[in-house]
Structure 1
């Protein structure tokens, strides 16, 4: 059931990615210093989410962005060459853990448990056991994989080494993908809080946030930035299994920016799977910036069907059960396919120590589920200093009949509402300190 592994990430974008591109990686060599720096961010506060069976009010870590700590190093090699590294770990400010689950726990959307939606007949299998029982068990297994860093990797956020040259930088290790970088650049919230555009495209995950075993080439010059990435799948006996490729390019001019990105995955058997295309633009308008983002997500081969089938047969090796196991596996394969569009528009403006962002996001699901979601709201940030701010978040999620998205945060997955078609709103007050 490996296809749900993308759900083990929510949508926190590390600000050091852009800072690294703008300063550490591409600064003039005369400014480079040999150094190792400890850095991070602690973000915690009161978070209220309606529409869920779970506790609605809780102390949460990562309301605006995921709490993290890390090391970044830089060595001037001379002649325009430099070596660098980044090691970054997440943590939960409320518990000290390095992983978290959604408030809704292992719950999956109702449609993944609906026999009629899945196309699975109700058949008695044993006393008290039906095909619904089996489907519920598969749903619970899939739901158990929904969360952030459930494998408790120490440097789950980033772990890479790089060489900067006069013609760009080569980076190797676990990194943010070029496709997801577009969310940071053209999302008005820069992926912060439940108001981020990425928050409504999470189950199944519509974009890969980070990739391990990744090799990237990055170039920045005169306002132009471009990145190419190839991530080795390192699965099975073929180099195409679980392979990932992505690229982006964007230009920041005087008062405007435009960009595009592309990313594509292969599944565990080498078939083309999740593919993203993203377009973004922003323009300075009045006292602030108007930003927009448009994305398409397509996945005809999520690859979960074979895993479900194999798991069910392992639990019941009877030859008579194999056709039913295949039927259920194929049903989940169809249910987890993606064909969707995402639109975002937002406006952010500053006045003194205050920043206000308003945004509207629409997720158009074109699969048989037709699970459309809209979100909108406002975020107010008051800077107490250059490193510390207070944030107030107000976001509304409207779910269509089969949709069930619940608001999360910059550092945690929102999960699902108590039933399909039920909306939710998020009210949060967070304190964030960067070091």
Structure 2
């Protein structure tokens, strides 16, 4: 009996050590809003997802390998919560495995590109909402007809991320294999410096399309936290052959007790070929009220003005080109 109790105690100690060295987290976001979007003379009312944060369900974890090293995984998929369908729940938001240590992190799989991470980091909206910068820089005109699929994520990617003890310096380098898929062969890097209220970073990339011309992206962003408000600004340029799309954004976030006010202004300008008239400007406002650390109510407004052949819509049905797209809505977001 004593031997049995001793064996159970030893097994329990090993199990406790194993659980202390490993972790598994289930996480997600549910975000739904009621919106109205008017494109030209057509108005469409809808319940939509992802206006404050992108809906997601994910699993992530780490294992301590000893000697200061660990292994990690992160799989995450989107959800269409307005109708309950799986939507993007195929783990295409992120699906990676990593090795981490004093050297930094080596990450493999489908992940955000560093040029996207850079612009999202210096947008008060992140990458969601009627006023967010991606409405301009990730639009069809900004793609310049290249067929590149790397505006946000890339498949088959190997990435290196610097450790967090470099005196404020941070960076990443990524390379993605095309594997026969046009528009996915990506290489790029990001380098930044953050200390105190200041954060500034630059990113560059190119996507190989199997032709003489490559789709190239350059962006730089900066932010300064005044305490009473955070000011952000950024510049983004995309090139493909003789075509060029340049955009910039100014945005701010202002804490107001349990709430937060956000505002942004962005403009995109196309040059070269027949795309020279595809210009657009965007103005956005948003207010968030935090009921708790995980639950928030929000309301927002955006106005996107197209010029010439530009036909960017904030949602709903596009009405040709040169129209004005306006959107407003209110919603709730819960993080778990």
Gaps of 5+ in 2: 1-19, 144-149
Check whether the contact 2:279–2:307 (CA below 8 A) recurs between aligned residues: yes
Are positions 1:166 and 2:111 aligned together?
no
SS across alignment from 1:280: strand
Per-residue deviation, 1:194: 1.6
Check whether the contact 1:234–1:241 (CA below 8 A) recurs between aligned residues: no
Distance 1:91 1:293, change over 3 A: same
SS across alignment from 1:56: strand
RCO comparison, higher one (Cα < 8 Å, 6+): 1
SS across alignment from 2:84: coil
SS across alignment from 2:244: strand
Per-residue deviation, 1:242: 4.5
Matches of 1:338 and 1:41, distance apart in 2: 38
Matches of 1:96 and 1:286, distance apart in 2: 40
Distance 1:251 1:242, change over 3 A: same
SS across alignment from 1:92: coil
2:180 to 235, 238, 254: 235
Matches of 1:90 and 1:405, distance apart in 2: 23
Question: Which structure: greater helix fraction?
Answer: 1
1:396 to 303, 314, 324: 303
1:203 to 137, 140, 143: 140
Distance 1:33 1:378, change over 3 A: farther
* CA-atom RMSD in angstroms: 2.0
TM-score between the two structures when normalised by the length of structure 2: 0.86
1:114-169 deviations in Å (ceiling 9; x for gaps): xxxxxxxxxxxxxxxxxxxxxxxxxxxxxxxxxxx5xxx71111101000021111
1:91 to 79, 94, 112: 79
SS across alignment from 2:90: coil
2:217 to 270, 276, 292: 276
What residue is the counterpart of 1:350 in the other structure?
255
2:198 to 256, 259, 267: 256
Per-residue deviation, 1:96: 2.3
Matches of 1:218 and 1:283, distance apart in 2: 23
1:366 to 267, 271, 276: 271
What residue is the counterpart of 1:128 in the other structure?
none
TM-score between the two structures when normalised by the length of structure 1: 0.67
1:66-125 deviations in Å (ceiling 9; x for gaps): 2110100111112210100001011100122344xxxxxxxxxxxxxxxxxxxxxxxxxx
Distance 1:391 1:364, change over 3 A: same
Check whether the contact 1:372–1:400 (CA below 8 A) recurs between aligned residues: yes
Aligned length: 306
Distance 1:211 1:54, change over 3 A: farther
Alignment of 1:332-343 (within 5 A): 338-343=243-248
What residue is the counterpart of 1:64 in the other structure?
52
Alignment of 1:33-432 (within 5 A): 33-51=21-39, 56-99=44-87, 154-201=90-137, 202-204=139-141, 206=143, 208-219=151-162, 220-221=164-165, 222-235=167-180, 242-267=184-209, 269-285=210-226, 287-300=228-241, 338-367=243-272, 368-369=274-275, 370-407=277-314, 414=315, 417-432=318-333
Distance 1:184 1:266, change over 3 A: same
Gaps of 5+ in 1: 1-31, 100-148, 301-336, 408-413
Distance 1:52 1:43, change over 3 A: farther
Matches of 2:39 and 2:316, distance apart in 1: 11
Q: Which moved more, 1:362-371 or 1:52-61?
A: 52-61
Check whether the contact 1:389–1:432 (CA below 8 A) recurs between aligned residues: yes
Matches of 1:415 and 1:160, distance apart in 2: 33
Distance 1:59 1:34, change over 3 A: same
Per-residue deviation, 1:64: 1.7
Matches of 1:257 and 1:270, distance apart in 2: 37
